[in-house]
Structure 1
Amino acid sequence: MTLHLPSSSRARTRPARRRLLAAAVPVALAAGLLGGCASTSTPSDQPATGTQTPSPWPSDVTPSATPTDTFTRDADGKVTGISYPGEDGETALDLLLGVDPTAKVQGKGANAFVVGIGGRTADDAKHEFWSLEVDGKQAKVGAGTLKTKDGETITWTLATY
């Protein structure tokens, strides 16, 4: 039996699916590593032949980020930004949490304020903050309020004031 949801219901499930997939990836990787520890050795009088190069992802798991989700980093490898595509009706915040479930947010909904992305928290002592742009223009509303559209590029950049 197939359940058909109205398009607005389907759109609301996208971030939840991404968060679920993002949570499932570490579990699947751990299971794959543990499964690889099982003894499949050849008898000691038989030489081992060939080498295996492990895949970064199990064959039945794909990463939650799409190829257009891009972290930017400074020379030290620290995250300085991220870009991802907008989706009709989804908020910039829900999409951010879908591509970076570790993002740190203070407050909820319209009052949500992003303080950390990619493991990097904005440093108040350095007057840093996470700036939100849509198609290269500063957002006029917060991430929890900003409804995105297909074809837009959402960009967060670590900025100073």
Structure 2
Amino acid sequence: MTSLHVEPSGRARKPLARRRALLGAVVPVALAAGLLGGCASSSSDEPAATGTQTAAAWPSGVTPSATPTDQFTRDADGAVTGITYPGADGETALDLLLGVDPTAKVKGTGKNAFVVGIGGRTADDAKHEFWSLEVDGKQAQVGAGTLKTKDGETITWTLATY
């Protein structure tokens, strides 16, 4: 019996290279904006955010100006409650999420992908938690694996309850 081996097409590789280039250019700006916004509303008695990811967790060729955890929002105890990142023409919200948080947990693939963990925090079914996806402040109408983003959009994941 013969087996068939299929190589990934060049087309499949181009979005990854483009994503890396876009993230390398956009992430430092988004991080700076997020840090400036966060500084304006934080008080000195809040605990400092700490992270376990290092720059080595980023895709090859992407050199962030800070660690990926700077994009996370956290509660008073330092637990991750969300993440925000810029959209990129033609890239899915899921692909971009995995680019900024390679440790994100996903059940299923493609159109059936369901994000269950971000920043090391898994949504707790017992607490009726889930990761909610928004684009420019509006609830997404399709899943992260289907949602094609655009340059200039703001993609936000928030730990929510039902």
Shared fold per TM-score greater than 0.5:
yes
Shift of 1:9: 6.1
Inter-partner Cα distance in structure 2 for 1:64 and 1:89: 25
Shift of 1:70: 1.8
**Partner amino acid, structure 2, of 1:11:** P
**Partner amino acid, structure 1, of 2:149:** T
Which protein is richer in helix relative to its size? 2
Shift of 1:12: 3.9
Shift of 1:63: 2.8
Instruction: Give the equivalent residue in structure 2 for 1:25.
Output: 56
Shift of 1:138: 0.1
Inter-partner Cα distance in structure 1 for 2:64 and 2:153: 22
Please report the TM-score for the alignment, with normalisation by the length of structure 2. 0.64
**Partner amino acid, structure 2, of 1:120:** R
Deviations 1:136-156 (A, max 9, x none): 000000000000000000000
Is 1:65–1:99's contact at 8 Å kept on the other side of the alignment? no
Instruction: Give the equivalent residue in structure 2 for 1:74.
Output: 75
Give ranges in structure 1 of 5+ residues lacking alignment.
Answer: 1-5, 27-60
2:57 is the counterpart of 1:85: no
Inter-partner Cα distance in structure 2 for 1:95 and 1:137: 18
Instruction: Give the equivalent residue in structure 2 for 1:98.
Output: 99
Shift of 1:25: 1.6
Shift of 1:11: 3.2
Inter-partner Cα distance in structure 2 for 1:23 and 1:13: 21
How many residue pairs match? The answer is 120
Please report the TM-score for the alignment, with normalisation by the length of structure 1. 0.64
**Partner amino acid, structure 1, of 2:79:** K
Shift of 1:10: 3.7
2:135 is the counterpart of 1:131: no
Give ranges in structure 2 of 5+ residues lacking alignment.
Answer: 1-9, 24-52
Inter-partner Cα distance in structure 2 for 1:75 and 1:10: 40
2:44 is the counterpart of 1:13: no
Tell me how large the CA RMSD over aligned residues is: 3.4
Is 2:55–2:67's contact at 8 Å kept on the other side of the alignment? no
Inter-partner Cα distance in structure 2 for 1:25 and 1:64: 13
> What stretches of structure 1 move > 4 A for 4+ residues in a row?
6-9, 15-18, 64-67
